[in-house]
Structure 1
Amino acid sequence: MKVKFNGRKQPGFYAEVKQEVEEYFKTNNISKNANTAMVSKSIFFLGALVGLYLLILFGGFSLSIMLILAILIGMVQAFIGFNVSHDAIHGSYSSSRRINKLMSGSFYIIGANPYVWTITHNQVHHTFTNIPGHDEDLDVAPGLVRVSPQDDHKPIMKYQHFYAFFLYGFASLSWVFRKDYVKFFQKKIGQTDNTNHPRIEYFNLFFFKALYYALFIVIPLIVLDITWWQFLIGFLIMHMAEGFVLGLVFQLAHVVEGTSFPEPDPQGRVDESWAVHQMQTTANFSTKSPIATFLCGGLNFQVEHHLFANVCHIHYPEISKIVARIARKYDVPYHVNPTFLGALASHYKTLKKFGRGEMVMQPVKA
């Protein structure tokens, strides 16, 4: 079933938003791509990864300090995904395809595959956001965590608002050892065809996974003077830190109070335009926090990202003012949780509602 959006409904909203955003960049003579601040962020996070990696291998620290470094390097890998890889894979880092491809390679060094991400995220998630059966980002932990009204409900899920956060920690491990392989060889991602991959992508999948395993498993086991079980603890802690950051940031953008989970009619029709659908299914958080914006790579401005994925996230704080104003004009939802803790509480409540088997979430004021 192919999902079709109603392009005739509220066409003025997106047209006006696009026009004003275009005018913003033209009037201020600003590129939509990375600026000096963005390049500095990239150098900072990539440099932090290299620095922490070398400290772990050759620093000669105590086991307790090594554990702290493992947590930090896991978090930094998540921040690289948010701040560098994500923009590059969307093609918004630079106007040059070559530079975008080069920067997309940062995904390989955190154990992920940019080609698979392009399909699952750019093509599927950004088109069919929060539509069960199409947006596979809703498959957090099938059978254990229920994050949409259409998911099957099981008795254990009444406790999911407690244990789901622990399961988020396994997101990175799953990504590195399972998810990319499964998604690559699936015939469909949601309802989107996933066959006929270029031959080079088969090589890239296995070669760069092997390279990651060599860097983060083989070399540490050879160089570090620790036992195998001490390494295993550090490796798991690193990935739990990375997975928790990844899982939490993505969940706070789509599975909170107020966001919707539309179900197409039997003909696959959604009675909203694509742009309004994005506004209904997406939420911002901590938009006034420079720290959140710096660390999350603009993913706390998820609304703007979904409308303008071709714009570098460094510009989201400014264009969010345009989107919010025009959304009010057209009476289109603009979901915002002002603080990180507020977004976290909203996600907790949403998990609790779905865990109880409730089918409909009550909206909250933006």
Structure 2
Amino acid sequence: MSNVVRETGLLQRATRFYALVGVAIAVALGGAVTGFILLGDSWFQLLIAGALGVIATQVAFLAHEAAHRQILSTGPANDRLARVLGAIVGMSYSWWDSKHSRHHANPNRVGKDPDIEIDTISFLEEDAASARGLRRLITRKQGWLFFPLLTLEGLNLHFLSFKHLLTDRDAKARWAELSMILARFAILLVPVFMFLPLGMAFAFLGVQLAVFGVYMGASFAPNHKGMPVIDRDAKLDFFSKQVRTSRNVRGGWWATSLMGGLNYQVEHHLFPSMARPHLAKAREIVREFCENHDVPYTETSLWRSYAIVIDYLNRVGLAARDPFDCPMASQYRRA
């Protein structure tokens, strides 16, 4: 009986938390819409566009948590909520769920984790070495270019979602998702292009997409990039596999709010259905367990995590350079 009471209390706490987050997002969205109406033909509208990018990312965090069965009491209800929330930010839940499930099963494992597959950026040296043309030029400096490239990630997420829904024969709820996503774009684009000058409207859309892409990428990148990569044939137990490939970000409640709970990446990978309010307590238990069993537990600051990601990507990008382009050869060519 005590376990049932405890579980009920945890569920109620999570429900209240997500209700408050939902209200906060709704209030923020209402404020953005009000600001859009009041500002009219003004370049200050770009501030509203940036705010919409932030709001969209916070909604995406909720979609992620619903997909992990963290918000509502049943799986089907969470699936429906995740599908609606995904459509609100212009993403296909069926595309993301398949990709993300494979990532959770095999984080940072070569050939099995879609998050380390080539997508402009190369996360593995063999992928960097195979780069040609424009991608090769990008790969050589990909660490420094990572955050600038994230300005295009919002557009990329929309493209991949539409591509999945229009071309994948196994896409779930294809027409429901397409209808909701198209309605979302209509609700966003019609007022923007109707009430703003054409140039300002395109700038508004560009800022919204850029902020959304950078915020999303900056929240997910610290989690695994620069952590150990697992060989495709390696044998690891579940606990070691999840902990050794994940990185936490320090910062307490503000980091949790900023990153939608992704700052507790170790605990999220160990307990993917655990709601955001309970991750801090789980962290204390997991850290103690890791210390007692000599399992590396990685946690750093947000800025340090970005430095690690940039350095890692630059080191991987070295494989895209000309193997004959060495300092001595360059010196003789100049001579």
TM-score, scaled relative to structure 2: 0.85
- The match for 2:332 is none
The one-letter code matched in structure 2 to 1:314 is: P
Aligned match of 1:131? 109
Q: Looking at both structures, which has the greater relative contact order when contacts are Cα pairs under 8 Å and sequence separation is at least 6? A: 1
Return the alpha-carbon distance in structure 1 between the equivalents of residues 163 and 238 of structure 2. Answer: 28
Q: What is the CA distance between 1:102 and its match in structure 2?
A: 4.7
RMSD (Å) for aligned C-alpha atoms: 2.6
- Structure richer in helix, relative to its length: 2
Q: Is the 8 A contact 2:146 2:310 kept in 1?
A: no
Deviations 1:149-197 (CA, angstroms, capped at 9, x unpaired): 4423245223112212111121111112x1113344676xxxxxxx544
Q: Secondary structure at the match of 2:248?
A: strand
8 Å Cα contact 1:160/1:352 also seen in 2: yes
The counterpart of 2:236, out of the listed 272, 275, 278, is 272
Does 1:246 pair with 2:228? Answer: no
- Cα distance change of structure 1 residues 28 and 211 upon mapping to structure 2, 3 Å threshold: closer
Q: Does 1:45 find its partner at 2:9?
A: no
2:264 and 2:280 in contact (8 A); partners too: yes
Q: Are the counterparts in 2 of residues 173 and 239 from structure 1 also a CA contact under 8 Å?
A: yes
Q: Alpha-carbon deviation of 1:61?
A: 4.3
Q: Are residue 180 (structure 1) and residue 161 (structure 2) matched?
A: yes
Q: In the alignment, what sits opposite 1:190?
A: none
| SS class of match (2:319) | coil
Q: How does 1:96-115 map to 2 (within 5 A)?
A: 96-97=74-75, 99-104=77-82, 105-115=84-94
TM, length-normalised to structure 1: 0.78
1:262 is aligned, of 213, 216, 230, to 230
Q: CA deviation at 1:243?
A: 0.2
Q: Is 1:304 equivalent to 2:271 in the alignment? A: no
Contact 1:108/1:208 (8 A) holds in 2: yes
Give the AA of the match of 2:225. V
Which structure 2 segments of 5+ residues have no match?
A: 321-335
Cα distance in 2 for residues equivalent to 1:277 and 1:43: 37
Q: How many residues align?
A: 312
**Structure 1 unaligned spans of 5+:** 1-21, 188-194, 359-366
Secondary structure in 2 matching 1:249: helix
CA-CA distance at 1:232 after TM superposition: 0.7
Q: CA deviation at 1:333?
A: 2.1
User: After the TM superposition, which of the residue ranges 320-329 and 33-42 deviates more from structure 2?
Assistant: 33-42
Matched with 1:347 is 309
Task: Tell me what 2:325 maps to.
Answer: none
Aligned partners of 1:250 and 1:341: how far apart in 2? 13
* SS across alignment from 1:336: strand
Per-residue Cα deviation, 1:226-272 (whole angstroms, up to 9, x for no partner) = 2222111110111100100111111111103xx1111223xxxx310
- Post-superposition CA distance 1:340-360 (Å, at most 9, x none): 1111111121122112239xx
**Equivalent residue for 1:237?**
207
